[in-house]
Structure 1
Amino acid sequence: MPLTRSLMIRLEDVLAIAWRELRSILGDSGAILFFLVVPFAYPFLYAALYGAEVAREAPLVVVDRSRSELSREFVRRIDASPDVAVVAHATTETEATPYIDRGEAYGVLVIPEDFSRRLMQGRQATVNLHSTFAAALYYKGYSLTATEVALQLGRELEAERNPAASTEATRIQVRPIESEWTSSFNPQGGFQGFLLPGVLVLILQQTLLLGCSMLMGTQRERGTLARPRLHAGGHYLGVLRLMLGRALCYLGLYTMSSLFVLVLAPRLFGLPQLLDLRTYCWLLPPMLLAMIFFALFWALVVQHREKTMILWVFTSIPFLFLTGLSWPLSAIPAPLRALGYLIPSTPGVQAYVAASSMGAQPYDILPQYTTLWVQAIVYFLLATYAYARMLRKAQSH
């Protein structure tokens, strides 16, 4: 057979398998949900949850044991800030607890009896801030506001104690080094702009993993997944063509999905978007291929359709932590960091966030880009080997 004809037959086989896979998806309501609905619906869901960006007017209960002019001024300034609202005053922590239990407040500020006396003596005074993590963003508002008010009040008291000093001398005494809080690449300090770009990449991987697992679980139940050599066009197909055909189907679907999820959705929700078309087209192929073959390999673990949710839904949170987005990579133990680089979402999230939120160019994300290509090749070989082994076992029986 001429080489050209042989290549054409193989190409037709790959296209036929891709078409067959697409028909399987369209004939399965669960697969339609994961492949065609969730990637378009979830960005809107997360945008609705975190659209407020920052938590304002965090409710706080104050226990002022000092009852002095300075303590009242301290509380007044905290209440005047945009991030905290003092909703009640209590005499003891026990009296403040019911506000927490009823959800009327999420934090308690305790000012000790010696607060004013220590400040007037030029000594350091402390306050105690207790917060429940039922609303973690409120804790950020409490701690930053209390810190800023304390620094400002301290500067003013220092200036009053040295009335003869010049303004510059007072400034140097109170604050030798000027500092300013600047949130890089997230100027509003919002949760949506910080978290959502990484979650968008994770949505692509998890919907692929869940959808492929559901399809293969169904095929296992029906006994069609491990048929020895799938027949098409009058001849038998090899495992390599089978994997390439399935990958082509998902690559076509997710090229369209990723265009919405990674390019259009961030613009709709007003997220920082510095990703240019050249970088997007450069990054997308290895990221999608790594996710596709990762999903095809791990989907072979699923024995029953219903077990898909049990096996994979819980992995979304650990996968997100391993990316270093919600927890610094430097604080993650080395074994877990190594584990993270076995998962396509880790380099995928890092590369996409760097490009979209920080304006990174291709050479800036080359390590993640290379990792994605390595993952794509390794998971392709693993998926092909695992499926071929499954077919050989089926033939032997």
Structure 2
Amino acid sequence: MIKSLLLISYEELKRIFQNKAIASVMFVGIFIYFFFYPQPYLHEAIRDVPIAVIDQDNTNYSRELVRQLDANKSININLHIADLQTAKKLIEERKIYGVVLIPYRFQQHILEGKTSPISYYGDASYILIYSNVATAVNTVASNFGAKISISRKIAQGVDPAVATNSVSPFNSQLISLFNPQSGYATYVIPAAFILILYQTLLIGSILCRLFSKNSDFEITFINQQNDAASSALLLLLGKLLTYLMLYLIYFMMYTVFANYWYDLPRLSHLVVSLSFIIPFIFSTALLGKVVSHFVHTVSDVFCLIIPSSMVIFFVTGLSWPKELMPPLFHLIGDIFPAVPAIVGSVKINQMGARFSEFSPQYWHLWILTIIYFGIAFILEKRNIQKAMSANVREEK
């Protein structure tokens, strides 16, 4: 039995690297994704976003506010313009991403103890840029207002310490847990890498069966066994062994080497990560074997899998919080191994979770493995029985 398993595994490995279609997905694609997918996200934090200023007041206070805005790491004020129409045109041309409007009598209102709100008009089609710049403008404006209020109280004879405490009774400190740079790469790359492993393994598993079906090796093996159940079991287990060996290597490349290469946080032990990813590899490969019984050409594979990847990306919670999704989307997500794998892998590798914290995803993957193994075994057995019956009729 062990010899048969190793022989099947070796044959499947040869097929992966000798067939151009399979190799492009399960080998070439893996390395292309690894090196090129993270490139746009390497500059994690948004810095020096170009914006313009409309300073209608042009006083000491307004100029000081502009200097403080320009000193913020998220903002780069490189234009002073006269009106909003000019700003609108520059935003449409993508020369700037927003404009700060300081109104007339800004300084006069402040000196009179009145509020003088400033306005920020930003391009919200780039939500990350808009959010960062709006937050920076709001922070600078709040600090500027607090300093003016403190100075006014001190001028009225209030003790500086009392004046400071009355304006700012407490200091807030923001600590970014598990994402020290508060960067988008740290957030998206680890999850996207698991999705890439899922997609390449699923497509590769389907293609392997399409190209191995009715091959000389499998026909000879089935005839030697002369039993549909044992043939189906050995073929499934032997191929799973190939995928396990290959994707454990890929997983280490994507979650260990990649973290050092791209300077991403990693808090788990390798053994814990590998033990979690084993049922993910099994369940994904077995799902591919199940799907392969319902597709017949290579184009069918890509037409089916590529659209489903968009659904998976959504239900994982990467683009929108899962807690805000309808229950139906949670049920859809339970079908695909990528969803619990992404959640569990991020918990383990980026958050240093204990077993009790990722056990729901771990057992979820094993349940999917058992279900898909049962379905794949039944379909493979039925297919082999048909082939054996056809051979018997031909011999007669």
**8 Å contact kept, 1:119–1:125:** no
Flag structure 2 segments of 5+ consecutive residues without an equivalent.
Answer: 391-396
**8 Å contact kept, 1:40–1:257:** no
The residue number in structure 1 matching 2:393 is none
Residue 290 of structure 1 pairs with residue 290 of structure 2: no
Residue 74 of structure 1 pairs with residue 74 of structure 2: no
CA distance in 2, matches of 1:111, 1:214: 62
The residue number in structure 1 matching 2:394 is none
Residue 362 of structure 1 pairs with residue 358 of structure 2: no
Look up the equivalent residue of 2:37 and give its one-letter code: Y
**8 Å contact kept, 1:158–1:174:** yes
Going from structure 1 to structure 2, the CA distance change for 1:22 and 1:104 (only over 3 Å counts) comes to same
Q: What is the 5 A alignment of 1:325-364? A: 325-364=318-357
The residue number in structure 2 matching 1:259 is 252
Q: What is the 5 A alignment of 1:1-397? A: 8=1, 11-113=2-104, 115-116=106-107, 119-120=110-111, 121-123=113-115, 125-133=117-125, 135-163=126-154, 164-218=157-211, 224=214, 230-232=219-221, 234-236=224-226, 237=228, 238-389=231-382
Mean alpha-carbon deviation: is it higher for 317-326 or for 21-30? Answer: 317-326
CA distance in 2, matches of 1:155, 1:217: 69
**TM-aligned CA deviation for residue 305 of structure 1:** 0.6
Spell out, residue by residue over 1:273-330, the C-alpha distance to the aligned partner (whole angstroms, 9 max, x if none).
Answer: 1121231232121222122222322343433212333322244444233223443332
Going from structure 1 to structure 2, the CA distance change for 1:65 and 1:285 (only over 3 Å counts) comes to same
Spell out, residue by residue over 1:49-79, the C-alpha distance to the aligned partner (whole angstroms, 9 max, x if none).
Answer: 2112212111112334444443333222121
What SS is found at the alignment partner of 2:45? coil
**Structure-1-length-normalised TM-score:** 0.85
CA distance in 2, matches of 1:31, 1:73: 62
Mean alpha-carbon deviation: is it higher for 26-35 or for 274-283? Answer: 274-283
**TM-aligned CA deviation for residue 142 of structure 1:** 0.5
Look up the equivalent residue of 1:175 and give its one-letter code: S
Going from structure 1 to structure 2, the CA distance change for 1:116 and 1:379 (only over 3 Å counts) comes to farther
Look up the equivalent residue of 1:81 and give its one-letter code: N
The residue number in structure 2 matching 1:3 is none
**8 Å contact kept, 1:216–1:302:** no
CA distance in 1, matches of 2:5, 2:139: 63
CA distance in 2, matches of 1:214, 1:94: 56
CA distance in 2, matches of 1:89, 1:343: 52
**TM-aligned CA deviation for residue 143 of structure 1:** 1.8
**TM-aligned CA deviation for residue 381 of structure 1:** 1.9
Going from structure 1 to structure 2, the CA distance change for 1:39 and 1:176 (only over 3 Å counts) comes to same
CA distance in 2, matches of 1:320, 1:338: 14
Query: Matched residues, percent identical?
Result: 27
What SS is found at the alignment partner of 1:341? helix
CA distance in 2, matches of 1:111, 1:308: 57
The number of residue pairs the alignment matches comes to 382
**8 Å contact kept, 1:215–1:305:** no
How big is the alpha-carbon RMSD for the aligned residues of Structure 1 and Structure 2?
A: 2.8
**TM-aligned CA deviation for residue 388 of structure 1:** 4.2
